[in-house]
Amino acid sequence: MRIRERPEISVEMSAVVSCPALLIAAPSSGSGKTSLVAALARWHTRRGRRVKVFKCGPDFLDPQIHAMASGQPCDNLDLWICGEDDIRARLARTARDNDLILVEGVMGMFDGQPSSADIAERFGLPVVAVIDARAMAQTFGAVALGLANFRPGLPFHGVFANRTGGERHTESARDALPIGIAWRGALAGNEAATLPSRHLGLLPAAEIDDLLARIDLLADALDTTPLAKLPPAVRFAAPDAAPSPQRLAGKKIAIARAAAFCFIYPANLELLAALGAESLFFSPLAGDSLPACDAVWLPGGYPELHAERLAARHDLAQQLTAHIEAGQPLLAECGGMMPLFESLADLDGRSHPMLGLLPGRTVMGKRLAALGSQRIELPEGVLRGHAFHHSRCQTDWPVLAQAERIDGSPGESVWRKRRLTASYFHFYFPSNPEAVAALFDPAFRHSERNVHEHNSEIRNRGPRWRWPRRSRIAHAQGGAPDPLRGRAGL
């Protein structure tokens, strides 16, 4: 059967627009990137500037913090998942309507395939490295020197010291900088401004009651730093692309949105609207009934923290069962999938009865069970996304399809029951609008025979794609592979 891949997009460029832009990176996770980006966004918005923040990588939690700080949704930038044209279009559109673009990096500056440095270099974004200086003095200069010179051609804009211990400590870090590396300021450690976290990362923004007050504390401290000045303007040109046909015009999609279902890419909602769909939000935790709709989307989140309340939703179980028995689409991702099985075992080992739409159970674990970017071939088409979870699924329900990781190894399973599609896989909808339209379109039909043929194709062939051998070798040797020429990642 024919599998629809990411549609080809014209490479013709539209008019060039300019906007001050800056990417905040770091030597490692935990250095303070999120706090600094949020504080900088808040500092400028308080002065009447319109600020748009982006987050490198497939993150759900940091963008919620940035949305609160900037007053705008925070989109994700990932060269492999999103594709270069998607990123280029978003940056250019943002540059037309905003006074400042801020981008938070992911992990360490050069970590991952692709990395924050890849994004900065590809789109000409000036980079400031925030370095956690609390356990060093003159070594701050050595770390800065390595970051600035590791990759020639990277638009390096300077360094920022985080969690300094006082004026003398700050001076020792600044004075250690080699000539040619710009000092962008420092922030002293401040426990009152620390952002709380748990097993998947920072707490969701909605769960931090004094979040804005914490961000304001950090923003106040930026007043006298060079970082507070607007960065250089960057020129952006968007690829010309035809608008997506409104394949879901007139369709109503019920979307769960609550503390247990809070992992939603803003770009996914944007695409559903572009396809003509109307989004109807409801909260299973608040007792909301399933709205009258044509399709349902249960995004990821933290069902394990709200298992007792979900277990009591017998009415919702009946409504969702009636929905899929009527042949209507339901997409359940990761935490949105977990309540659909018969039971859920939480981190304390307690088992909770769930909604029971699928046989089996999910079990929370103390250690990470899966992490990374993946692609999945469904009867509707090929989609990209990622997985990040601590639980495991135990079920004998037949697998519809198996995702593939970037290196070609097996990824997440996808289960299907009528039009119910369930997986730990988090879908990035703009990676294939046509496939997303088919997933949510009640009129889309695929025969059982085609599903069987699709499963056989996945089982019988080896990985269709992987990073080019030259890029894998370059990465292993510490070089900078460029796997994204032409269509990103292929």
74 and 49 in contact (C-beta within 8 Å)? no
Cβ-based burial of 122 (10 A; exposed 0-12, middle 13-18, buried ≥19):
middle
How far is it, in rounded angstroms, from Cα 471 to Cα 325? 47
82 is catalytic: no
Phi, psi of 298 (to 5 degrees): -110, 100
Instruction: Retrieve residue 111's tokens.
Output: 């970590």
Question: 387: which strand partners?
Answer: 372
How far is it, in rounded angstroms, from Cα 91 to Cα 101? 8
52 and 101 in contact (C-beta within 8 Å)? yes
Instruction: Retrieve residue 381's tokens.
Output: 């088409």
Choosing from 74, 82, 262, 334, which is the catalytic residue?
Answer: 334
- Cis ω before 114 (30° cut-off from 0): yes
How far is it, in rounded angstroms, from Cα 43 to Cα 35? 12
376 and 423 in contact (C-beta within 8 Å)? yes
Among 124, 126, 135, 195, smallest CA distance to 161 is for 135
How are beta strands 13-25 and 127-132 bridged, if at all?
Answer: parallel
Tell the residue number behind the tokens 């960065």, with chain if given: 231
How are beta strands 370-378 and 75-77 bridged, if at all?
Answer: unpaired
- How big is the chain, counted in residues? 490
Half-sphere exposure of 180 (CA within 13 A, CB side): 8
* Catalytic center residues: 334
